[in-house]
Amino acid sequence: MKKLLLLSLFLFASAFADEAKVKTLVIVSHPYFEHSTFIKGLEQAARSVQGVEVRNLEQIYGYDTRAIDGNLERKITREHQRIVFLFPTHWFNITPMMKAYLNETWGSVGPGLWQGKQMLVVSTAGGGRSTYGKNGRVGVELKDVFLPMKASALHCGMEYLEPLVFEGVNSSQLESYKQALIQRLKN
């Protein structure tokens, strides 16, 4: 009986091992998704976590930056406590569809709409230490390239979480990147 109880507790705990503590929305964008390795892998990892809804902008709207349904996206965003933006670093910035998403979904609503929600930026970059960091060509850490996202979060009354960035990405590290994302989504 004791073994059965322990097994039941283990199975119960395992069932919730990959579940987000807060209802999370992951907005994914990649301008060349068909050629993506890392964003595809990270999106797959995000989809594996219970309590996480994933919306891939290019899969939903194609590449038409004017096709984004701001009303629908605001409705979906309201249903979540944490908003995650997942994208490759695109010329030291977010992708064109991500920018269009923010313009259409967040641009005209003013501060306070997302009051109390969390924002997490997750990004990949091919450049490594020779590009990012105090001694890199751009002279700033990759996570600091996204200061406008932090400003957007603070403007909206959100808590800006420490970004999860992967620089100098290497396909041999994809599984560890996926596990790092899963851990962040679960917390």
What is the distance between the alpha carbons of residues 111 and 104, in angstroms, rounded to a whole number? 15
- Which of 30, 60, 50, 57 lies closest to 123 in space, CA to CA? 30
Please give the Cα distance from 9 to 176 (Å, whole number): 28
Domain annotation covers residue 80: yes
Tell whether 6 is covered by a domain.
no
Domain count, the chain: 1
Domain-embedded: residue 137: yes
Q: Examine residue 9 and state whether it is found in any structural domain, yes or no.
A: no
> What residue ranges of the chain have pLDDT lower than 50?
4-16
Residue 109 falls inside a structural domain: yes
Provide the pLDDT for residue 17.
57
Looking at residue 149, what is its pLDDT?
Answer: 96
In a domain, 92, yes or no: yes
162: which 2 tokens? Answer: 């420490």
By residue range, what is the domain housing residue 181?
19-186
Residue 118's domain is classified under what CATH number? Answer: 3.40.50.360
CA proximity to 136, closest of 125, 147, 152: 125
Q: Are 57 and 97 in contact (CB under 8 A)?
A: yes
Q: What confidence score (pLDDT) does residue 1 get?
A: 53
* Residue 62 covered by a domain: yes
**14 assigned to some structural domain:** no
Predicted pLDDT at 8: 46
What pLDDT score was predicted for residue 20? 85
